[in-house]
Structure 1
Amino acid sequence: MTRTTRLVTLLVAVLLLGAVGTGSVLYAAHRSGMRDQQQADGPTVRPGTVSLRPTAERRLLVRNLAWGPHRDEIATVPADDPQGPRTASGVKCLRFHAAAGTGICLQAVHGALEDTYRAVVLDAHLRERHRFPAAGIPTRARVSPSGHLVAWTVFVSGDSYAGTNFSTRTAIVDTRTWAIDDNLETFRVIKDGRTYHAADTNIWGVTFADDHRFYATLATGGRTYLVRGDLTARTLTTLHRNVECPSLSPDGTRVAYKKRVKGASPDAPWRLYVLNLSTMKETATAESRTIDDQALWADGDTLVYALPGDYGSDLWTVPADGGGTARRLMTSAVAPAYLG
């Protein structure tokens, strides 16, 4: 082989390798772009504008858990097309809820040595209005129907409600004044008609009736209770035993909650129930699996809640009256909120 032939052969090889390399880069970029829109066999997720303002079309907002660059962002879909393409906001939250143009977003702040947490109040454009330090790992969040109050619960110690070795901290903020009750354990507890004091009190899972009244879980003495809270009187009054993570119905007459049932595994102790607040009658829903979530009322008849899924959690629905069957609403999603 002559010197000229060797040079030509080398040049052709270099050009071929360059073409292969360029093709690989372009293919990878194409695949990356596809992943930016859609996880394999999962929902389409695209960046866009997300608003908390009421619209003619009812919408469902969630924390998106689909793998890709928009994982953990608040995303929206039409409420009547929950499996449709998602619009991702760019705002990341661990827990989220919204109502009447106000959002509450619980976030992690990643540090060199450890993570810290914060509660961020959002406006209708998902812009930060105010932030507060959170004392531990976010677990529950709610906004009042008017948007004037927000609440959140964090684990101060422990990371699960299943056992007894945990401590929570629950706060309520008035978004009109930024006044904060940063620990509801300072409220006076009225149990069985009498003021009650105990060092082991824990409170979590606020659900608002209006801008003065709310419901929550109180744990003490190894038992849990549904309590009615009064922000003006700063009281918590026990109503019913064995109630955790209550969620008030839109008409204010019922509470959905998780209840510990006899014979269940200690690691999966709960079933989803509904309590009539007038009669205190309990109704078991058709969901037979354990529920470790604060259910949400999609409307006056249907509950939405999270169960473990392939990418973290999926959202499921079940009728609130005890009939029907549970069905999957959305894959790769958690922390729902309905708007509109």
Structure 2
Amino acid sequence: MTGPTARGRLLILLVALLVLGGLAGGAVWRAADRAAARDRGRADGPRERPGPVSLADGGERRLVFRNMSWGPYRDTLASVPAGAPGGPRTVSGLRCLRFHAAGGTGICLQQAGGTVTVSHRAVVLDARLREVARHPVAGIPTRARVSPSGRFVAWTVFVGGDSYAGTAFSTRTSVLDLRSGRLEPTLEAFAVVRDGAPYRASDVNFWGVTFSRDDRHFYATLATGGRTHLVRGDLAKRSVTTLRTNVECPSLSPDETRIAFKKRVPGLPAEAPWRLHVLDLADLRDHPLAEARSVDDQAVWTDGHTLAYALPGDFGSDLYTVPADGTGTPRRFLTSALAPARLG
């Protein structure tokens, strides 16, 4: 068989150039399309303007949260009026991975260190976002809470594994008293009473603190022996007492009669096992909420009737609300947002 003629070789070369040009043009077109989509997302996303963000109580009711929209203000604390969550966001320069605020006090869990060595820290804030205290933390931030008075702050970090959905994880939960400066490095040092008897085990883990108004008691999740328990803690006695099983990430209602939590439901996928429930503390019975998706978050009470929580969104996370009595339907009320606190 003879090879192609000079004219044939020229035709082959031209075809190859056309194919390569088409591929390159397609790649350029796809890249431009992706860039245009990002620009459309920014154009259609939340409006942001730099300005002061306050954690002070009183005045206009507002939401302070971690801003998740792409751009120079991603991960910074932002604020919007509670009555107009879709309006322009006032954005600060302070970045937080986890955040909560109450009583004029904020807790901001941050990443520290460079690109080679990454560490994390808990930074306590005053009402003007000025640093009051700083403590290194031993793992990846996951939960944070401030007591209603602003006196106590708590945070939880992962120190092994990276998800509550699995079983190979370990947590460390710390509580800081801002009045005395005393830090409880880990709730694992507290005495545990389970089913009316003292209990000790090497696999005890705590997470998801929520405080009472009395600046003494709190609720949290205790995990041991493959089960989770709702516990009521006493900071003065340095003890916790189990109340019931299968309660994770509790959140105490403003009237302190109910607890919102995520509950593992048999039959759901192992990676998405939770449904939001509300527990009546008077009889320890619970009811499911109208949210049918798996929620891996510590819900926040925006008032005595409504809960806010995060679900995955286009830019990492969106915030939804649902009635606490089990009626109604979920509603997305804040896009590109995480870790809300209602103030004012």
* TM-score between both structures, scaled by the size of structure 2: 0.87
> Is the partner of 1:322 in helix, strand or coil?
coil
What does the per-residue CA deviation read over 1:181-214, in whole Å, with 9 as the maximum and x for residues that have no partner?
0100010010000000111100000000131000
> Is the partner of 2:319 in helix, strand or coil?
strand
What does the per-residue CA deviation read over 1:123-166, in whole Å, with 9 as the maximum and x for residues that have no partner?
11001011000110000000000000000000011111001100
> Is the partner of 1:185 in helix, strand or coil?
helix
Which residue does the alignment assign to 1:142? 145
Which residue does the alignment assign to 1:326? 330
2:271 matches 1:271:
no
What is the rounded CA distance, in whole Å, between the counterparts of 1:164 and 1:83 in structure 2?
38
What is the rounded CA distance, in whole Å, between the counterparts of 2:54 and 2:84 in structure 1?
18
> Is the partner of 1:151 in helix, strand or coil?
strand
2:195 matches 1:188:
no
What is the rounded CA distance, in whole Å, between the counterparts of 1:160 and 1:40 in structure 2?
34
Which residue does the alignment assign to 1:90? 93
What is the rounded CA distance, in whole Å, between the counterparts of 1:48 and 1:289 in structure 2?
35
**Equivalent position amino acid for 1:104 in 2:** I
Which residue does the alignment assign to 1:10? none
What does the per-residue CA deviation read over 1:211-235, in whole Å, with 9 as the maximum and x for residues that have no partner?
1000000000000000000001111
> Is the partner of 1:40 in helix, strand or coil?
helix
Which residue does the alignment assign to 1:119? 122
What's the offset of the Cα at 1:112? 4.1
What does the per-residue CA deviation read over 1:162-186, in whole Å, with 9 as the maximum and x for residues that have no partner?
0110000000001112110010001
Which residue does the alignment assign to 2:169? 166
The match for 2:77 among 74, 77, 92 is 74
RMSD value over aligned CA atoms? 1.2
Which residue does the alignment assign to 1:27? none
> Is the partner of 2:188 in helix, strand or coil?
helix
What is the rounded CA distance, in whole Å, between the counterparts of 2:167 and 2:199 in structure 1?
20
Which residue does the alignment assign to 2:221? 217
The match for 1:245 among 249, 254, 276 is 249
> Is the partner of 1:82 in helix, strand or coil?
coil
> Is the partner of 1:271 in helix, strand or coil?
strand
The match for 1:179 among 162, 177, 182 is 182
2:236 matches 1:229:
no
What is the rounded CA distance, in whole Å, between the counterparts of 2:117 and 2:249 in structure 1?
28
Which residue does the alignment assign to 2:62? 59
Give the number of aligned pairs.
Answer: 305
What is the rounded CA distance, in whole Å, between the counterparts of 1:247 and 1:40 in structure 2?
35
Gaps of 5+ in 1: 1-34
**Equivalent position amino acid for 1:102 in 2:** T
2:303 matches 1:299:
yes
> Is the partner of 1:68 in helix, strand or coil?
coil
What is the rounded CA distance, in whole Å, between the counterparts of 2:93 and 2:223 in structure 1?
37
What's the offset of the Cα at 1:39? 2.2
> Is the partner of 1:309 in helix, strand or coil?
coil
2:260 matches 1:256:
yes
What is the rounded CA distance, in whole Å, between the counterparts of 1:112 and 1:59 in structure 2?
35
> Is the partner of 2:44 in helix, strand or coil?
coil
Runs of 4+ in 1 over 4 A off after TM superposition: none
What's the offset of the Cα at 1:40? 2.6
What does the per-residue CA deviation read over 1:45-104, in whole Å, with 9 as the maximum and x for residues that have no partner?
111011111232100001000111110000000001111100001110000000111000
**Equivalent position amino acid for 2:208 in 1:** G
**Equivalent position amino acid for 1:241 in 2:** T
> Is the partner of 1:312 in helix, strand or coil?
coil
The match for 2:321 among 317, 323, 330 is 317
* TM-score between both structures, scaled by the size of structure 1: 0.88
Gaps of 5+ in 2: 1-37
**Equivalent position amino acid for 1:182 in 2:** P
What is the rounded CA distance, in whole Å, between the counterparts of 1:198 and 1:252 in structure 2?
30
What is the rounded CA distance, in whole Å, between the counterparts of 1:199 and 1:281 in structure 2?
30
> Is the partner of 1:39 in helix, strand or coil?
helix
**Equivalent position amino acid for 1:197 in 2:** R
**Equivalent position amino acid for 2:157 in 1:** V
